[in-house]
């Protein structure tokens, strides 16, 4: 399969979930081999590559940094790019936090599908998992196993009547991502909002960009998009963090109550564990040692 990019630019404006600051963002086509590269247009087009080596913080969102320049809350955008099979793109941003939009990956996904996704000349290389790899941390687990496709199985548990125990397994294809995962919104608990805002977080949060849960229900007047929207959003987040691996993967991910910190640690340690995977390039297999 060939590497891909978008056919023409798309633009978004909105506020950051945590800063509450306005930002405009453009996604533009990029050549083969470029990967996903952020450009801070407010800082002389400073470039920051979306890879796990750039991860700086993972508290309630994933933040990248290089030479003191930040890009924050990247996971929903990266999830949409990875889920749609887009290998290469420039992302221009005039502030340091990506617009949260409606709290899901839906608007990113719809916009990129609307302009179209095009194949480039270069063959896509794929990381093929050959041996299971797993991490466990404070009762949270994340693993990847050999498979003939790429899929995610995620399980969560919250003592809340709208959530409880939820689990879902999805094969990640552009079609499945856009219909089953992209619409799932981020969520949080009303009782935690004041404390989070005092810590400089969720200052842009509202019922327009998040599901806000009360003790027995939710504040949003609209209904859930899926009965299990919460676990679907966890898959969305995981996919956005997994995109920092920088290439497509053939394997089955199994996650239980993981989060951004474990997601990004998992990507870094999997990359370093070269006896668990090989690189498939075109029709051939490149042994990594």
- Tokens 């977080």 found at: 201
- At 70 the three-state DSSP class reads strand
Q: Is 260 a catalytic residue?
A: yes
Q: Give the containing element (helix H, strand E) for 282.
A: none
Q: From the candidates 18, 233, 260, 276, which is the catalytic residue?
A: 260
Instruction: Name 18's Cβ contacts closer than 8 Å, sequence gap at least 6.
Output: 60, 61, 72, 73, 97, 200, 201, 202, 203, 204, 205
Return left, alpha or beta for 216; rule: phi > 0 is left, psi -120 to 50 is alpha, else beta.
alpha
Question: CA–CA distance from 135 to each of 54, 79, 87, 241 (Å)?
Answer: 21, 21, 27, 15
* Residue 111 burial class via C-beta count within 10 angstroms: exposed 0-12, middle 13-18, buried 19 and up: middle
* Residue 165 burial class via C-beta count within 10 angstroms: exposed 0-12, middle 13-18, buried 19 and up: exposed
Active-site residue numbers?
260
């Amino acid at each position: 399969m060939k590497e891909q990019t978008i056919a023409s630019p798309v633009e978004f404006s909105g506020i950051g979930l945590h800063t509450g600051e306005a930002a405009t963002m453009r996604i533009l086509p990029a050549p083969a081999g470029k990967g996903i590269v952020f450009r801070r247009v407010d800082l002389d087009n400073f470039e920051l590559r979306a890879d796990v080596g750039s991860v700086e913080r993972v508290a309630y969102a994933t933040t990248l940094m290089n030479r003191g320049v930040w890009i924050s809350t990247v996971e929903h955008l990266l999830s949409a790019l990875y889920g749609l099979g887009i290998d290469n793109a420039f992302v221009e941003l005039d502030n340091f936090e990506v617009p949260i939009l409606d709290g899901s990956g839906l608007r990113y996904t719809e916009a990129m599908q609307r302009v179209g996704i095009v194949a480039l000349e270069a063959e896509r290389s794929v990381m093929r998992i050959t041996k299971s790899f797993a991490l466990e941390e404070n009762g949270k687990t994340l693993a990847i196993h050999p498979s003939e496709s790429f899929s995610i199985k995620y399980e969560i548990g919250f003592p809340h009547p709208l959530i409880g125990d939820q689990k879902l397994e999805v094969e990640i294809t552009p079609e499945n991502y856009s219909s089953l995962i992209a619409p799932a919104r981020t969520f949080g608990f009303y009782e935690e909002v004041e404390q989070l805002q005092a810590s400089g977080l969720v200052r842009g949060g509202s019922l327009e960009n998040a599901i806000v849960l009360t003790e027995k229900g939710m504040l949003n007047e609209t209904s859930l998009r899926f009965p299990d929207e919460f676990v679907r959003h966890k898959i969305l987040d995981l996919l956005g963090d997994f995109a920092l691996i920088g290439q497509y993967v053939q394997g089955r991910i199994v996650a239980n109550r993981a989060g951004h910190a474990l997601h990004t640690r998992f990507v870094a340690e999997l990359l370093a564990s070269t006896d668990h995977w090989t690189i498939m390039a075109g029709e051939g297999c490149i042994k990594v040692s």
